[in-house]
Copies of this chain bind each other. A is one copy, B any other.
Amino acid sequence: MAKRVSLWNAGCPVARALDVIGDWWSLLILRDAFDGTTRFNEFQSGLGIAKGMLASRLRHLTERGILETAPASDGTAYREYVLTEKGRGLFLVVVALRQWGEAHLYEPNDPRSRLVDRDAGAPVARLVLRSADDRRLGWCDTRVEKPDVT
């Protein structure tokens, strides 16, 4: 689905990433995929998305190598959508969004889903940015280095 503007050729990885998953639905579809959803109808009823949109998004994510279709694991002739390695790489993006949402968008006691460690059952730790030599870095300890234009 051609966007009005394509960022595909941008020299910035953020822009290129958004070109692939920057629309309203893609990250929600991925969130559900990480949560175990695999079937068209599951996505559709879970998200309340229009079928046409869902078909278009799933096609797009598949073309971009984030999802792939596989024969249904329950033995029926239907297909299911599963995350590829590349798609699983987006897990941290979803986690970062979740942690920001938890920290800034809820009152302390609002009910909300939590991401927990499967073994311990405890909430996961907050993500932290570190330098190559393992110092903790904040936003202002970093800068963006433009590519060489030589």
Using CB atoms and an 8 Å cutoff, list the residues of chain A in contact with chain B.
3, 5, 7, 11-18, 20, 22-24, 27-28, 31, 34-35, 48, 86, 88-106, 111-120, 122-125, 127-135, 137, 139-149
Contact = CB atoms under 8 A, between A and B. Distances in A.
A13 B106 contact: yes
A61 B32 CA distance: 26
A95 to B, nearest CB: 6
Oligomer copy total: 2
A116 B144 CA distance: 6
A104 B86 contact: yes
A14 B31 CA distance: 8
A16 B101 contact: yes
A13 B131 contact: no
Contact of A117 (B13, B99, B116, B132): B132
B101 A17 contact: yes
A63 B24 CA distance: 20
A116 B98 contact: no
A28 B4 CA distance: 15
Nearest to A146: B113
A91 to B, nearest CB: 5
Nearest to A24: B22
A88 to B, nearest CB: 6
The 8 A-B residue pairs whose C-beta atoms are closest, nearest first, are: A13-B101, A111-B147, A17-B101, A117-B131, A93-B96, A96-B96, A17-B97, A122-B132
